[in-house]
Structure 1
């Protein structure tokens, strides 16, 4: 079932599709974990459906059955682990050429459009300007500013909204995740799917609960900044983000200069961590030392 915060957009797109006024190039943007791929998948299925209803795809026609089976001949995705190159984009465009195999529409989804190289973006421009008949392109991004202005100007842009806190709590409960605290939801930027991933059994990465316990051990002198930094170095960016949020909130309450300086230290560390090849453990040790009762 489509999550409540995404449903209005899907219904809006569906209505425009039925009225033949849906733009051929849609850019769905928003922070990671808000459900852009979920919405894009549902929309692609609807665009390809042969019996579209007010609610979206019918789920029963040949197109819907092929889509669910993962082998729809008119549905294509461009996915890359790192950058999306020009050859991949040209290959995707080529698949859109000609008549749809099922005689309806064709859809190309680019889940991480911001990873396109400049050459790849330029290769996509002509298709955005002059799409083939009955072709729709769905571009997704968590970093809209990373896209070329020429790409942005040729797409109809839609921001995925962040759901309210209670909406996230209710949705997580429906997924079997009960007793989720507001602090955990806030820690993951109110992004429902990010929270869900962090809570699911066997999820990789550092959970917010694990972070809280680690900081408690640090403050209780049960863990040193260095040992904690070594253990958390692969999650340094997330840890610094959480630490900065904690320091900022504390400063708002206390207006103490130490809390301001702690927040500033986190901000500086965030910039340093963006550089390739940096020693994350060293940077994180320096930040954690500010929060420790026994620095270094």
Structure 2
């Protein structure tokens, strides 16, 4: 059984509007990653803020059904945050948000195999300041950190501030994953974003995802590209989060966050596993990451 993981950040409800109508489901990148890790057999704690309303009950039921241990962060709020996703004809989502993120107290990182941060929770003040302090504490304690910026300019439009926060967090992180959209927003014109990330600080693995195109991974020992599976896309909601959760679960399962060499074979295995998880999520509506059995079955069917 892998060491437990602590995921920190926002929980919300996704209101999805598309050609087939409107649906309401639990969401938020940290919540999705926590659910994905738990479904893959990792003991998972999610430190978050959830309102005492009907939407909050929906979120809690969703987390309970995947055996995620929820730590409710003060101050407690009456209303749960909301994200609206408008889908185009190809199933790609455009987001808008109504949320708050202002925890005044976070759990200690000690005792966890990894801390996962990112998205709005790592960039929206004042809560982002508490997350920043926690990652500094984790780095000092030698606890590995996963970081997925998942930049949302509609909610954090000051890209200079976002870039400053991302750079500080990335220097402490053991694993950093960027989408191609993140890379273009944060480092426009940068010739090699992954070399930038692995060339300083504690980052042992940097990842760049490009939707349905090749996934690239870089470590001190290797730099590889892997083509993701081709699937019929229902929508892309939560695909990047499923990728990150499968990546972290695989790293924890094989104890690759503790200084082990990440050679080409290890990177190809990580990329294939995480890409399959993302592909499964794309084949069904909403952020619905695969279980351990579903991910294993996808490997045998390819």
Question: Normalising TM by the smaller chain, what interval?
Answer: under 0.3
TM-score normalised by length of structure 2:
0.26
Name the structure with the higher strand share.
2
Larger Rg computed on CA atoms: 1
